Amino acid sequence: MASNRRQPGKRQDRNSKVGQRNPKLGYYLVVTDADGTEQNYFNGMRSSFSSELQKYLVIRVEKAKTTEQLINKTIELMENLPQYSRPWIVFDRDEVVRFDEMIESARKLGIEVGWSNPCFEIWFHAYFGSVPMFQDSQSCWKSFAKKIEKVTGQKYDKNDKDIFKKLAECGDIKVAIATADRQLQKCEQNGEKPSQSNSATTVYKLVSEIVKKVGK
């Protein structure tokens, strides 16, 4: 899968040659295969920064048409936007057949991976200090829907553009990072591949890196 393409990480040298300057906290490119939840979360995170902070740390969220096109879409964007030296793809286990192979292929190309098993809402669960086990995406997001409705009094909408704000208000992002980290370590200690790590996510690694930079 696109193994003969130029590695995104190598574009950074070109930046210095053409005299481009990065904001001192960096550019983040996040490519997802979903229309709503993931895009709204990261766009919400970006919007939560002050206008001054947004000058120093840039988050750009893009969408690939399908999960299978995530890597090629990211490489294409990197070729046109070389200042984004920290590319991430974010996607769910769902019914992706070659889940583990796709993660490995991306990493070999210098692309970071924020995967979730079974779905992105498992990361939202971590905001409340737990990562319950779910066998499928539907049970995962429905469980979170009940949780967020109980806390906010509002029904969960996967297209909610304010999801980051709501989680920040009724949950705890630092608790989420610590909870997701513990769960992933447990899965790795058990020798589980990402496709077997049910439930777990690496989205916290991207979020944690950004949180540390902005001092939240």
Strands (E), 56-205: 57-63, 86-92, 112-117, 200-201
> pLDDT at residue 198 above 60?
yes
Please tell me the least confidently modeled range out of 84-88, 158-162, 195-199.
84-88
Would you say residue 15 lies in a domain? yes
Residues 6+ apart with CB under 8 A from 87: 8, 29, 31, 74, 77, 78, 110, 111, 112
Position 17 pLDDT exceeds 60: no
Q: Residues 6 or more apart from 18 whose CB is under 8 A from it?
A: none
State pLDDT tens for residues 50-91.
999 988 999 999 999 999 999 999 999 999 998 988 899 999
CA 5 to chain centre: 23
* Domain membership flag for residue 120: yes
- What is the domain range of residue 98? 8-214
Share of the chain above pLDDT 90, in %: 80
Residue 193 has pLDDT above 50, yes or no: yes
pTM: 0.88
In a domain, 3, yes or no: no
Q: d(Cα 71, Cα 102) in Å, to the nearest integer?
A: 8
Query: Is residue 54 domain-resident?
Result: yes
pLDDT in tens, 131-143: 999 989 999 999 9
Which residue in 31, 112, 115 sits closest to 77, CA to CA? 31
Could you tell me which residues come within 8 angstroms of residue 176 by beta carbon, excluding any fewer than 6 positions away?
123, 126, 127, 167, 204, 207
Any domain includes 2: no
C-beta neighbour count of 45 within 10 angstroms: 25
3-state class (DSSP) for residue 139: helix
Tell me whether residue 1 is in a domain: no
CA distance 12 to 134: 40
Length of the chain: 216
Is 148 a residue whose pLDDT tops 90? yes
Number of domains in the chain: 1
Any domain includes 20: yes
